[in-house]
Amino acid sequence: MRADRLVAALLLMQARGRVTAAELAEELEVSVATARRDLEALSTAGIPVYPQPGRGGGWSLVGGARTDLSGLSASEAQALFLLVGPAAAVSDEAKSALRKLVRALPQTFREHAEAAATATMIDPTRWGERARDRPATVDLLQAAVIDRRKVRLTYTSGSRERSERLVDPWGLVDKDDIWYLIAGTARGRRTFRVDRIERAERTDQPAERPDDFALDAAWREVVGEVEQRRSRTWATVLIEARFVRILRDHFGQHCHDDGEADDGRARVRVGAPTALDIARNLAGWGTAAEVVDPPAVRAELGRIGAELAGRYAVPSPAEHHASRRPA
């Protein structure tokens, strides 16, 4: 797009002070004639860009490298590259943008910015898991959010209910490598898991979005609602203090220290949607974790224990010998 080239040309001149049309054409990957037209357009538009005739001439920006058109301080440039750097490892577009940004920065910023770009990387795959592919639907939804166009979805809910909806896409969130779409519907704001969208079709209808909508604030509300549903049932557990950290890994933020029990064990409160969910998480601990309350969780643990004992009970010696006798 020409607007992108014009901004890139300004940033490049800010970094170098003076460029020729040939140099600009090489940097922006356009013809020399196109680069010259862009420079002339900047000058005509009133930008302080002037041609310098004669040998060693070119086009100069008044103020040269002292004019910080990017508006970035050294620390801001470093923070930007810390964010963009990991993305460049998996995206050709981000890698190309990173190279252009480096060239556009003032020389004094470049060394730290380049170092920041390679200082960190992100591997979203957990140990033992296969890498997840980014859903192709994400690109379509992102374009619809940016262009403000309604999208027609065929969606299957967590309860396996299939429906078709016309929504106003407001924003996308990647949480733990799972994508979510926040959108406006006839019933208000809704959140959709992208991997449950069977089909998405962008329409030409303009999408509406509240003027005060902020994606980060909306997502905090969604997270709060989900976490509240995930902790409707709470249980008190007694466990050796050295195991509390492991228990916290299992239950995340739904695990709270509750002091020390009379026998020296740690008293911990854990939460989950149902008593069965808590029991399933604790069953593998055997007697190392003792549930004090509520009775519903204790009952579920007893039932699970009885089922396992019935399925995997070790036969007595007499039963073992009897089973080996020939019929």
Each residue's pLDDT tens digit, 225-250:
888 888 899 999 999 999 999 999 88
Q: Dump pLDDT digits (tens) for 40-76.
A: 877 776 667 778 776 667 887 765 434 444 555 666 6
Range(s) of the domain holding residue 141: 137-226
Tell me what the pLDDT averaged over the chain comes to. 81
- In this predicted model, which residue has the larger pLDDT, 318 or 23? 23
- Is the bond into 210 cis (omega within 30 degrees of 0)? no
- Residue 326 domain-assigned? no
Complete edge-to-edge strand list for the sheet that includes strand 178-185 = 188-193, 178-185, 162-175, 149-156, 197-206
Inside any domain, residue 327: no
146 domain residue, yes or no: yes
Residue 14 lies in a domain: yes
Q: Is 186 found in the same domain as 144?
A: yes
Q: Are residues 256 and 298 in the same domain?
A: yes
Report yes or no on whether pTM surpasses 0.75. Answer: no
Work out the pLDDT band at 105, boundaries 50, 70, 90: low
Q: Are residues 149 and 193 in the same domain?
A: yes
If asked whether residues 222 and 237 sit together in one domain, one would say: no
How far apart CA 75 and CA 91 sit, in angstroms, is: 24
Are residues 142 and 202 located together in one domain of the fold?
A: yes
Asked if residue 103 and residue 42 are part of one domain, the reply reads no
177: left (phi > 0), else alpha (psi -120 to 50), else beta? left
Name the residue with tokens 């930008």. 47
Q: What is the pLDDT of residue 159?
A: 82
User: Under a CB-based contact definition with an 8 Å cutoff, are residues 145 and 171 in contact?
Assistant: yes
Q: From 168, 191, 226, give the residue that closes a domain.
A: 226
pLDDT, average across residues 134-156: 90
Residue 127 counted as domain residue = no
Question: Is residue 27's pLDDT more than 80?
Answer: yes
Residue at which a domain ends, from 172, 204, 226: 226
Dist. CA 116–CA 110, nearest whole Å: 10
Q: How many domains does the chain have?
A: 4
